[in-house]
């Protein structure tokens, strides 16, 4: 393959997989530590329950299980992987990266590895970074991109601003070359740091090291300004979607299906209405799964495809928003058959 041909390669999602914890926490259970009602949570967020990893669970094992599902759907062997990207802010260790453990456990001995931290926009960002790596190197043919989070381990169960939303899980995608005009058509990104502190976890960072410092929930647990997050999302995500569509040479009205970061059902409903779509054009699992950070979008995508919501040939938008705040959108000409539709 010539360098020019490589740089113009079409890159598609070849397989998807995910893993959720078996244990769930419904609103009735959560409200034992909160001064609100289960009805209030559902009315404000649309969330009914969230999945919670067991104390002995490891994030890398969830990432590996999601990866194995994606590899099986794609028909790709671990040794065929050239790149592994894990999108997370909640790795088992500060370092080494989760991606190294995934490479080890899969036996993907030929794969380059790195972790990517763009918070809840991580998976969409990771897909674009991996696709660019494939386009830039003729020897890179298959990439594994994983979104994996154990958000609940960083939540104060008495904090209504975080506890009602956050969940655990992992989702994965295999990327590979495809026919011209298919797969990833365009990506668009935006950053607005005016509310940099709106969503944060300070404890353990170099500004707030744990060395000799007593535990402080105000520092060592996640903090989230819900109003700031809402305003950022409704202000910047729609124009970023429109920008990605423009770069792909399509109009927003041409889009067949959208999958959002599963932050909050009410937020997704608002964004869909603002973009002029109906809820039939998106798949949401946040009511039953909760917000699992960088894992939420790939889990929803994996479930949506398994349920036949996305068809080959569809124009699909993936859209995420993460702390900082950063926004990531990609437009795809879908090629992946659902398992039931595959011959």
Q: Is 306's pLDDT higher than 80? A: yes
CATH of the domain at 300: 3.40.47.10
What pLDDT score was predicted for residue 247? 98
Same domain, 48 and 83: yes
**In this structure, what are the phi and psi dihedrals at residue 334, rounded to the nearest 5 degrees?**
-70, 140
Q: Is 137's pLDDT higher than 60? A: yes
Question: 212 lies in a domain?
Answer: yes
How much is the average pLDDT of 14-18? 98
d(CA 241, CA 330): 8
**In this structure, what are the phi and psi dihedrals at residue 193, rounded to the nearest 5 degrees?**
-95, 10
Q: Is 340's pLDDT higher than 70? A: no
Q: Is 341's pLDDT higher than 60? A: no
Question: 339 lies in a domain?
Answer: no
Q: What residues make up the domain containing 170?
A: 3-180
Tokens of 162: 């975080």
What pLDDT score was predicted for residue 199? 97
d(CA 25, CA 309): 27
Catalytic residue among 119, 264, 285, 291: 291
Same domain, 167 and 216: no
Same domain, 113 and 238: no
Q: Is 229 exposed, middle or buried (0-12, 13-18, 19+ CB in 10 A)?
A: buried
* 3-state secondary structure at position 259: strand
How much is the average pLDDT of 108-131? 98
Same domain, 203 and 160: no
Among residues 180, 208, 236, the one where a domain terminates is 180
Structural contact between residues 148 and 294, judged by C-beta atoms closer than 8 angstroms? yes
195 flagged as catalytic: no
Q: Whole-prediction pTM value?
A: 0.96
Same domain, 301 and 175: no
Calculate the dihedral angle through the C-alpha atoms of 293, 111, 179, 319, rounding to the nearest 10 degrees. Answer: 10
Same domain, 154 and 199: no
DSSP state at residue 322? E
Same domain, 35 and 165: yes
How much is the average pLDDT of 316-338? 96
What interhelical angle do 265-274 and 226-248 show, nearest 10?
Answer: 40
How much is the average pLDDT of 30-37? 95
120 flagged as catalytic: yes
Same domain, 158 and 296: no
Question: 341 lies in a domain?
Answer: no
Q: What pLDDT digit, counting tens, does each position of 200-250 carry?
A: 999 999 999 988 899 999 999 999 999 999 999 999 999 999 999 999 999
d(CA 257, CA 308): 12
Q: Work out the pLDDT band at 7, boundaries 50, 70, 90.
A: low
Catalytic residue among 31, 120, 151, 245: 120
* Helices within 249-331 (DSSP H only): 265-274, 286-289, 296-306
Q: What pLDDT digit, counting tens, does each position of 58-71 carry?
A: 999 999 999 999 99
What pLDDT score was predicted for residue 161? 95
Percent of the chain, pLDDT > 70? 96
Q: Give me the residues paired with residue 85 across strands.
A: 114, 145
Same domain, 175 and 190: no
Continuous segment of H or E residues that includes residue 103: helix 98-106
Question: What's the chain's average pLDDT?
Answer: 95
How much is the average pLDDT of 21-34? 97
**In the chain, at which residue ranges do the beta strands (DSSP E only) sit?**
10-19, 24-26, 49-51, 83-87, 112-116, 142-150, 168-178, 183-191, 199-200, 223-224, 257-260, 315-322, 326-333
Q: Give me the residues paired with residue 177 across strands.
A: 11
Same domain, 169 and 207: no
Q: Work out the pLDDT band at 343, boundaries 50, 70, 90.
A: very low
What pLDDT score was predicted for residue 212? 85
Among residues 180, 212, 235, the one where a domain terminates is 180
How much is the average pLDDT of 2-28? 87
Is cis: bond before 3, omega within 30 of 0?
no
Question: 340 lies in a domain?
Answer: no
Catalytic residue among 27, 261, 264, 284: 261
Q: Is 149's pLDDT higher than 50? A: yes
Among residues 147, 180, 213, the one where a domain terminates is 180
Structural contact between residues 176 and 10, judged by C-beta atoms closer than 8 angstroms? no
Edge-to-edge order in the sheet of strand 168-178:
10-19, 168-178, 142-150, 83-87, 112-116
Q: What pLDDT digit, counting tens, does each position of 72-93 carry?
A: 999 999 999 999 999 999 999 9
Q: Work out the pLDDT band at 148, boundaries 50, 70, 90.
A: very high
Same domain, 223 and 321: yes
Tally of CA atoms within 13 A in the half-sphere of 131 that contains its CB: 24
Number of domains in the chain: 2
Q: Work out the pLDDT band at 342, boundaries 50, 70, 90.
A: very low
285 flagged as catalytic: no
């Amino acid at each position: 393959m010539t360098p020019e041909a490589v740089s113009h390669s079409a890159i598609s999602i070849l397989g998807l997989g995910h893993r959720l914890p078996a244990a769930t926490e419904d609103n009735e259970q959560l409200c034992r530590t909160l001064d609100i009602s289960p009805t209030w949570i559902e009315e404000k967020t649309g969330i009914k329950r969230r999945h919670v990893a067991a104390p002995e669970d490891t994030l890398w094992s969830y990432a590996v299980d999601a990866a194995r599902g994606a590899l099986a759907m794609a028909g790709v062997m671990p040794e065929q992987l050239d790149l592994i990207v894990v999108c997370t802010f909640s790795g088992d260790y500060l370092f080494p990266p989760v991606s190294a453990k995934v490479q080890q456990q899969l036996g993907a001995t030929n794969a380059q590895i790195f972790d990517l931290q763009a918070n809840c926009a991580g998976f969409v960002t990771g897909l674009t970074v991996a696709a660019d790596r494939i386009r830039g190197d003729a020897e890179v043919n298959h990439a594994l991109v994983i979104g994996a989070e154990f958000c609940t381990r960083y939540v104060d169960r008495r904090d209504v601003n975080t506890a009602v939303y956050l969940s655990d899980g992992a989702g994965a995608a295999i990327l590979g070359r495809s026919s011209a005009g298919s797969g990833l058509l365009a990506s668009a990104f935006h950053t607005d740091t005016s509310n940099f502190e709106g969503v944060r976890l300070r404890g353990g960072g170099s500004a707030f090291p744990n060395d000799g410092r007593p535990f402080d929930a105000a520092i060592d647990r996640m903090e989230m300004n819900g109003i700031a997050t809402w305003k950022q999302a409704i202000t910047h995500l729609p124009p970023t979607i429109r920008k990605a569509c423009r770069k792909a040479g399509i109009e927003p009205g041409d889009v067949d299906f959208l999958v959002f970061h599963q932050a909050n059902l009410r937020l997704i409903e608002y964004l869909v209405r603002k973009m002029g779509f109906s809820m039939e054009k998106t798949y949401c699992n946040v009511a039953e799964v909760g917000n699992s950070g960088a894992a939420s979008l790939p889990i929803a995508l994996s479930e949506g495809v398994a349920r036949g919501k996305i068809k080959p040939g569809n124009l699909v938008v993936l859209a995420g928003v993460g702390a900082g705040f950063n926004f990531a959108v990609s437009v795809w000409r879908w090629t992946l058959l659902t398992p039931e539709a595959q011959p």
